[in-house]
Amino acid sequence: MILELIDWIIIAAFLLLSLLIGLNYKTEGSTNLASFFLGGRNLPWYIAGMSMVATTFAADTPLAVTELVAKDGISSNWIWWNFLIGGMLTTFFFANLWRRANVLTELELIELRYSGKAAAVLRGFKSIYLGLFMNVLIIGWVNLAMVSIITVFFDVDSSIAFWYMVGILLITMIYSSLSGLLGVAITDTIQFAIAMIGCIILAVIVVNSDKIGGIEGMKSKLPEGSLNFLPQISSSGSDVVSTLSISVGAFFSFAAIQWWASWYPGAEPGGGGYIAQRMMSTKDEKNAVFATLFFQIAHYCIRPWPWILVGLCSVILYPDLTDKKLGFVYAMKDFLPVGLKGLLFVAFLAAYMSTISTQLNWGASYLVNDFYKRFIKKPHNEIATEKEEKHYVLVSKLTTILIMIFGAFVTTQINSIAAVWEFIMECGAGLGLVLILRWYWWRINAWSEIVATLAPFAGYLIGHFVLVNYFGDEFVENRGPFIFTVVFTTISWVVATFITKQTEKSVLQNFYTKVRPDGNWKPFKTSSVTKSNLFNLFVCWISSILFTYSLLFFTGKLILQEYLTSFYCFVSAIISFFVLRFYLIRTNIFNN
């Protein structure tokens, strides 16, 4: 693609702006580990929430949605829409608890909640497993998506595109290592706005092009079933094109299991990863809850429709395209005028850089706070001195560079983004319930989480290499290996919980006194504890799910000019919103 001078100016201005933000927050983000990894615990809800949304909007996200829609229509998005159920669970049952725990990282919670050598081993193992191994896999697939975009956008060889990506990666590493989370969060806010504006402009231009003919023209040219919002349920899988037809087992997996059972970046049951990091970085518990609520609504209601529209149009424009996800990039090349090409490429840069900057900062927090500081170079006293904090910040910056290098190398080893997704999803199957219950049931111990972390690997091997030989392709079609892994992992950690020693009572009492969770904590409650909040939280959870799905469908039906259905969805959204508001006021999650 030939870019004009104005396009290059827009791209250069964006990269310069990102660097300037990093320089501007250099001092505020380098005082101590709390400032570097949590922005001084002073972020307002809208900055923290926007940062969450921006991080989940990676360079590969529009391409992934385009591929889903081009292959199986709008209903294929339920593969990720189902995670809203777990996301809203995090909002009302866990966001305030994460902020109240006052830990620096998710993994620091392990030794606040559990006791003994098992807790220390679990924290050390997860710091490497999540902070380095899983983190560089995520960075690798995001890098690979960016390489694909550059390859098509600039008509260059993938090897050349890789080095372009490395240059962008270096800029991202510089500003994220200079300013820490504060600079990352501020940059995320700007980057998300740019990315969404760019995607909306692209969708409007493509839909209204002569080849599409507006919404009505698009609808008349699409294969039957492409615009269905709900999947078809069949006794077995289907080869029907342009509508998601899934088996009963697969539907059961998405609707009833996956949202709570699977560990997945950005959708961890009970919160975790960079989502927990943002919750812990907010001013107080109220801001933590509102940030997470905003994230869930924006994630599912604001972001997807421009991508879905471009994906639908790509079915018409590029029917013979083998790699369906690249339909988004080809639409950029073919329909954008001078200036807007630069803006749309900046939108992808923004999406890419917001994700990478978070992964670098989040991964470094685990490796430094939960491994280096905990096991290699401990502070002399319980509270680190100013000199020690400066040292830890310096190590954090060097670790950021190390993660970047590993991520770039892993990029060269990945051939399939989908394969990495599947591996991560299935090798965390069954862990989710432990991450949820550790807040609400005192009997969960370190061994519960250790077994739940390791058992999915055994379940994955048994399901894919043993059981599939007995049950055949239909077993895989019904997501049999995934469901088996969940059951196998759950049985394993439940048995481990009851055959191992419980957490020390003093540790449990300290955790309960500090965090004050609801649930089964009867041995540690005092007479001054307020009434259980679970019913009100449950109603908030259900009503918020209904509100978000109603708003998602209202927007989609309005865009597709199906006004009566859109009106019904709007009424549903209004009713569920007022129910949510009524019961949210009745909760004591802000002052418990």
Rg for the chain (alpha carbons), in Å? Answer: 24
Instruction: Check if the beta carbon of residue 45 is closer than 8 Å to that of residue 296.
Output: no
Boundary of a domain, candidates 377, 406, 426: 426
**Lowest mean pLDDT, pick from 152-156, 263-267, 299-303, 337-341:** 263-267
Same domain, 239 and 385: yes
pLDDT at residue 375 is higher than 60: yes
Say which residues have a Cβ less than 8 Å from residue 591's Cβ, sequence separation at least 6.
none
β-pair partners for 429: 262
Q: Count Cα neighbours of 275 within 13 Å in the Cβ-side half-sphere.
A: 28
Same domain, 259 and 382: yes
Boundary of a domain, candidates 399, 426, 453: 426
Condensed to tens digits (0 to 9), the pLDDT of residues 441-479 reads 999 999 999 999 999 999 989 988 899 888 887 788 778
Torsion of CA 550, 552, 553, 557, to 10 degrees: 130
Flag whether 433 is in a domain. no
pLDDT at residue 548 is higher than 50: yes
Query: What is the Cα–Cα distance from 44 to 48, expressed in whole angstroms?
Result: 6
pLDDT at residue number 241: 42
Here the CATH number for the domain that contains residue 403 is: 1.20.1730.10
Flag whether 551 is in a domain. yes
Q: What is the mean pLDDT of the chain?
A: 88
> Residues in the chain, how many?
592
The amino acid sitting at 407 is: G
Query: What is the Cα–Cα distance from 280 to 38, expressed in whole angstroms?
Result: 7
Flag whether 394 is in a domain. yes
pLDDT at residue number 119: 97
The model's confidence at residue 433, banded by pLDDT at 50, 70 and 90, is very high
Collapsing DSSP to helix, strand or coil, 62 comes out as helix
Flag whether 132 is in a domain. yes
β-pair partners for 43: 282
Query: What is the Cα–Cα distance from 382 to 440, expressed in whole angstroms?
Result: 28
Query: Which of 50-64, 405-419, 447-461 holds the top average pLDDT?
Result: 447-461
pLDDT at residue number 59: 78
The amino acid sitting at 311 is: G
Flag whether 450 is in a domain. no
Query: Which of 19-33, 356-370, 424-438 holds the top average pLDDT?
Result: 356-370
**Rounded to 5 degrees, what are φ and ψ at 245?**
-115, 110
Flag whether 446 is in a domain. no
Largest alpha-carbon pair distance within the chain? Answer: 72
pLDDT at residue 186 is higher than 70: yes
Number of domains in the chain: 2
Collapsing DSSP to helix, strand or coil, 429 comes out as strand
pLDDT at residue number 261: 83
**Closest residue by Cα to residue 270 from 129, 113, 98:** 98
pLDDT at residue number 158: 87
Give the pLDDT mean for 59-76. 87
* Of 396 and 322, the one with more pLDDT: 396
pTM over 0.85: yes
Give the pLDDT mean for 569-592. 88
Question: Strand 232-234 to strand 245-247: parallel, antiparallel, or no bridges (unpaired)?
Answer: parallel
* Token pair recorded at residue 222: 């699409």
Same domain, 544 and 422: no
**Lowest mean pLDDT, pick from 142-151, 216-225, 359-368:** 142-151
Collapsing DSSP to helix, strand or coil, 120 comes out as helix
* Of 325 and 577, the one with more pLDDT: 577
Query: What is the Cα–Cα distance from 542 to 583, expressed in whole angstroms?
Result: 11
Same domain, 402 and 290: yes
Domain that holds residue 573: 530-592
Flag whether 438 is in a domain. no
**Distance, C-alpha 180 to centroid of its chain:** 20
Residue 262: which region, alpha, beta or left (left: phi > 0; alpha: psi -120 to 50)? beta
Flag whether 166 is in a domain. yes
Query: What is the Cα–Cα distance from 547 to 580, expressed in whole angstroms?
Result: 8
Residue 233: which region, alpha, beta or left (left: phi > 0; alpha: psi -120 to 50)? beta
* Token pair recorded at residue 553: 């469908």
pLDDT at residue 25 is higher than 90: no
Same domain, 40 and 168: yes
Boundary of a domain, candidates 426, 447, 474: 426
DSSP code at position 236: S
β-pair partners for 232: 245
Give the pLDDT mean for 505-531. 86
